[in-house]
Amino acid sequence: MFNMNLPDEAITRYLGKYTRVLNNPMYRRDAYGFWNGHRVYEALLKESDAGFQGHLHPASERDVSEGEVRSGKQEALVKDIVREEVFSLQNGKTPGRDGIPKDLYAAFWEIMGEDLVDILNEAGKRGKMPSSMREGIIHLLFKKGIGTGIP
């Protein structure tokens, strides 16, 4: 399912207006990591870090029945929930430290969505999420006139 070994031209075509980002070697590496996610996330999932607790979506209205799990309906439910969460993010925001903005996930949901859902399902099955999915970067912004005495 993850075997999407795409050449540069294909990645550039799919990521269209984000080619500026892909010219940065760090982001290009992350884009390759996404498209070849099974290699990147397989290694991260093997890390012995804190386990993933709870559900993929804690605000879920109902539990999934055992019949739905056996019939495969659970994956459609999870995909719908993940899609809803991705589309609810503000435009221009990046949900992860890879710098890939929400706009990209939304624009290419049909291409990228299934891989993202598979990664989340695998994390749920293994009981832990990769550390890269549990980390973020926070930038403090100075507002003029407030906190002038802070070094």
In a domain? residue 27: yes
Does 30 have pLDDT greater than 60? no
Highest mean pLDDT among 34-43, 51-60, 94-103: 94-103
Q: How many residues in the chain? A: 151
Structural domain of 66: 8-134
Return d(Cα 37, Cα 43) in angstroms, integer.
Answer: 10
Residue 71 in domain: yes
Q: Which of 15, 9, 49 is nearest to 30 (CA)?
A: 15
- Are 53 and 128 within 8 A, CB to CB? no
Say whether pTM exceeds 0.85. no
Residue 56 lies in a domain: yes
**Residue the block writes with tokens 């990769």:** 130
* Averaged pLDDT of the chain: 64
What is the number of structural domains in the chain?
1
Residue 119 lies in a domain: yes
Residue 1 lies in a domain: no
Q: Is residue 57 part of a domain?
A: yes
Tell me whether residue 145 is in a domain: no
8 Å CB contact between 75 and 121: yes
Identify each DSSP E strand in 19-144 by its residue range: none
Over residues 101-141, the pLDDT tens digits come to: 888 888 898 888 888 888 888 877 777 777 777 777 777 77
Q: What is the pLDDT of residue 4?
A: 45
Residue 86 φ then ψ, to 5°:
-65, -45
